[in-house]
């Protein structure tokens, strides 16, 4: 699989990000078998960048698949500011959309690697960056073991990634260093998102307290204070 680098279109003149997602060569196609369906012109305009106060991305659409010419590529560029969902607790899902959804913990942004049994399938399907509206107080599907309950309501927000875990760490650093302890200090900390990487240890539920602190979850001292 060849092709140009993602987000290199000279006409976009993008600002230098604090963290940048890398994609599998077949993106934005859903898997490696459909690589040829997406033109390089779309890949040149595709990016996900983390800045000091926002997450900015463009996931372009090629309406004629591999026959789409550069002039026909449709941009889907968006900006997500850190003081609004999914980086902060917000309205509840349908049908209670008008009510604040703050009773089940802060939202979780987590990277995930697709696996079949213990086989890493990311070279064929890509890694994902998922978003869950709450952390369900870190409960697990089998009490103390199993996947976190928030994974059952989490959805893939970005797919086809190559460095989901690294990008999630970079996004967390940009979020914590520039927003959580900066301009967002006046926001209730219980409403601000936490970050994790969904690995085998998380799925089994054997996560040390020191790792919870590293991922942005409250420590035992903080929980006692609450």
pLDDT in tens, 166-220: 999 999 999 999 999 999 999 999 999 999 988 765 655 554 444 444 444 444 4
SS (H, E, C) 21-71: CCECCCCCCCCHHHHHHCCHHHHCCCEEEECCCEEEEECCECCCHHHCCHH
H or E stretch at 127: strand 127-132
Between the CA of residue 98 and those of 37, 94, 154, 206, what are the distances in Å?
40, 9, 20, 37
What percent of the chain has a predicted confidence (pLDDT) above 90? 65
pLDDT for the residue numbered 67: 92
Q: Are 207 and 138 in contact (CB under 8 A)?
A: no
| Mean pLDDT score across all residues of the chain | 85
Segment 108-135 mean pLDDT? 93
pLDDT for the residue numbered 213: 46
Residue with tokens 């033109």: 39
Phi, psi of 175, deg, nearest 5: -70, -50
Domain ranges of the chain: 19-217
pLDDT for the residue numbered 100: 72
Q: Are 194 and 106 in contact (CB under 8 A)?
A: yes
Q: Is the predicted pLDDT of residue 123 greater than 70, yes or no?
A: yes
């Amino acid at each position: 699989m060849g092709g140009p680098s993602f987000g290199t279109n000279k006409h976009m003149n993008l600002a230098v990000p604090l963290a940048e997602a890398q994609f599998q060569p077949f993106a934005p196609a859903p898997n490696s078998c459909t690589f040829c369906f997406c033109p390089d012109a779309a890949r040149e305009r595709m990016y996900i960048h983390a800045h000091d106060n926002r997450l900015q991305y463009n996931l372009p659409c090629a309406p004629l698949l591999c026959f789409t010419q550069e002039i026909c590529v449709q941009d889907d560029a968006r900006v997500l500011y850190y003081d609004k969902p999914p980086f902060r607790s917000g309205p509840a899902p349908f049908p209670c959309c008008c009510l604040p959804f703050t009773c089940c913990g802060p939202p979780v942004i987590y990277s995930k690697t697709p696996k079949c049994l213990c086989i890493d399938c990311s070279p064929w399907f890509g890694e994902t960056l998922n978003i869950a509206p709450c952390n369900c107080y870190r409960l697990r599907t089998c009490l103390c073991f199993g996947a976190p309950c928030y994974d059952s309501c989490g959805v893939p927000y970005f797919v086809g990634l190559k460095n989901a875990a690294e990008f999630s760490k970079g996004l967390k650093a940009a979020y914590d260093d520039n927003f959580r302890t900066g301009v967002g200090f006046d926001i209730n900390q219980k409403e601000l998102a936490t970050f994790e990487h969904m690995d085998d240890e998380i799925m089994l539920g054997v996560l040390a307290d020191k790792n919870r602190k590293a991922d942005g979850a409250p420590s035992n001292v903080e929980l006692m204070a609450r």
